[in-house]
Structure formats: structure tokens, C-alpha cells
Amino acid sequence: MTHELAIRVYYEDTDLAGIVYYANYLKFIERGRSEYVRALGIDQAALKRGHGIVFAVRRVEADYLRPAKYDDELTVKTDLVAETGARLVLDQSVWRGAEKLFTATVTIVCLSETGAPTRLPADVRRKFAPPVH
């Protein structure tokens, strides 16, 4: 399932040339991941409260293809590539219409409150599983 999040580029997202500052793409895809998880019915605050588990970015491999500019309407797309008990790998991209501007492969790990790797509870893992047809 591809999750899509619509965003607009604001002045604060750009540099002096009116082009999106490179680090802001990481903010855009963070919002996309957060909304993806929310759309799956996972409440991250409740996960922390109830199980002491949080998600943390372990690795980002990013490719900047074309610049986004002030006032562009963008779409952040998020797809799950792999899921293990304590790790998620996501493909994310930022689009302006049919034009791909940015891609990233993001590895997320599940951590306990002490920062140690931990497995997701089975009920949460099932939410990441693709629907059976």
C-alpha cells in the first residue's frame, strides 16, 4: 500500500534562491512516515506509553533528483519494503505532479525506553503486513 501525503512548499522551506533547502526533504519524509503509521492505526504515543517502544531512524540513503521551489504542491509517497521484528525499511519519494524530485530508503528501528533494540508487539506487526486477498 502506497501512502500519500500532500504538502506545500512554504517560504521557510527554501533558501535564498527559492529552492527547498536539502535538509527539509528529510522533514517532508518524516511527516510522510508519521502519517503512514497513523493511517495504519498505530498510535505512536500509545505505543510508547503502553509498551515503552519508540521508532528511530537508523539509516537514510537519499537521492536529490530535481529541486522543489517555493509554493510547489508536493506529494510524499511512502511504501513499506521490508519488516522484521525490530526493523522497518521504507521507500519514500517526493513528487511534484508526475515529476519525481527526491527518493530515500529509510531504515527505522524499534527501541525500548533505554535505547536498546526491541521487537514490535505482534498486534502492531500485523498492521504493517499487506492485506490478504
Asked if the structure places residue 105 within a domain, the reply is: yes
In percent, the amount of the chain with pLDDT more than 90 equals: 85
Span 2-21, pLDDT tens digits? 999 999 999 999 999 999 99
C-alpha cell at 32: 510522510
Query: What CATH number should be reported for the domain holding residue 112?
Result: 3.10.129.10
Catalytic option among 15, 43, 63, 79: 15
> Please, what is the average pLDDT of the chain?
94
Identify whether 15 is a catalytic site residue: yes
Asked if the structure places residue 114 within a domain, the reply is: yes
This prediction's pTM? 0.92
Closest to 120 measured CA to CA, from 37, 20, 62, 35: 37
Domain count, the chain: 1
83-86: long-range pairs with CB below 8 Å, 24+: 83/125, 83/128, 83/129, 85/110, 85/119, 85/120, 85/125, 86/110, 86/117, 86/118, 86/119, 86/120
Order across the sheet with 99-112: list the strands. 3-8, 73-84, 87-96, 99-112, 53-64
Asked if the structure places residue 34 within a domain, the reply is: yes
User: What pLDDT shows up at residue 35?
Assistant: 97
How many helices (H) and strands (E) would you count in the chain? 3, 5
User: What pLDDT shows up at residue 7?
Assistant: 98
User: Whole domain around residue 44: which residue ranges?
Assistant: 3-128
Q: How confident is the model at residue 131 (pLDDT cuts 50, 70, 90)?
A: low
User: What pLDDT shows up at residue 113?
Assistant: 86
pLDDT reading at 41 higher than 80:
yes
Asked if the structure places residue 133 within a domain, the reply is: no
User: What pLDDT shows up at residue 77?
Assistant: 98
